[in-house]
Amino acid sequence: MKSLSEIETTSKRAARAVGFSWGVSEEVGKCVRLLELFGLPGIKNLVLYFKNENLNDFDNLKLIHKDNKPNKNKFCPINLGVNFIDQIKTIETFNKCSFKDIAYPILFLPFLSRASEIIGKKLILNFDENKFLLNFNVNISSNFTKDNFPTLANNIQIHFLDNKDNFNELEWKNLYKLSEETFVEETDSSKKGAAGAGLTDND
């Protein structure tokens, strides 16, 4: 079994070999590593992407808006992903944004996962009938069950979720009340040993 370090290094070098800069290639390595870590077919789709696509044929979106469409061809998932991370603080203010026609969308996923960690918010990605929840770059959950990941996402929507507790106030109070049973009562002895000025003060 290949190590995550091997996967990252080889993916980075392959990206450089097909024409990406070393900076972008490093991003590719990190993202393919994440996909494989999360049990998603990163290597498989990166190989297909390099083998079947002419990188010069893609539309590259430099400035991301709330709604985005390519001028002629499909969006490159890697360049789009890099720009998404670079502009995430601005994109976050949209609350949601959409894209048309992203090639090999699985390669876009880890960029979104890393963006989720940067802004400290969960993201939901919807395309066609597929849904992915990106959790602070800790994991990616999905309803995706097909063996082969689609090579094109026609309609993509990304939603930014507000941070909310998964429990109500009463549940929290009940739990906190139970935790109070571990509190130690304050005694004269504990007061003397507590932090701060004691019986001797040099001032």
Q: Does the residue 49 lie in any domain?
A: no
- Please indicate, yes or no, if residue 90 is contained in any of the structural domains: yes
Does residue 133 lie within any of the structural domains?
yes
Q: How many domains are contained in the chain?
A: 1
Question: Can you give the residue range of the structural domain that contains 115?
Answer: 54-160
Percent of the chain with pLDDT over 90: 81
Long-range contact pairs involving 25-31 (C-beta distance under 8 Å, separation at least 24): 27/78, 27/81, 27/82, 27/85, 27/111, 28/78, 30/110, 30/114, 31/78, 31/81, 31/107, 31/110, 31/111, 31/114
For residue 146, being part of any structural domain is answered with: yes
pLDDT at 144: 81
DSSP string over 113-170: HHHHHHHT--EEEEETTEEEEEETTTEEEE----SS--SEEEEEEEEEPPP--SS-HH
pLDDT at 202 over 60: no
Would 88 be classed as within a structural domain? yes
State the pLDDT at residue 132: 96
Could you read off the pLDDT of 2-53 as tens digits, one per residue? 999 999 999 999 999 999 999 999 999 999 999 999 999 999 999 999 998 7
For residue 66, is it within any domain?
A: yes
Q: What is the pLDDT of residues 47-90, one digit of tens each?
A: 999 998 787 889 989 999 999 999 989 999 999 999 999 999 99
In a domain, 194, yes or no: no
The whole-number pLDDT of residue 19 equals 92
Domain membership of residue 187 (yes or no) is: no
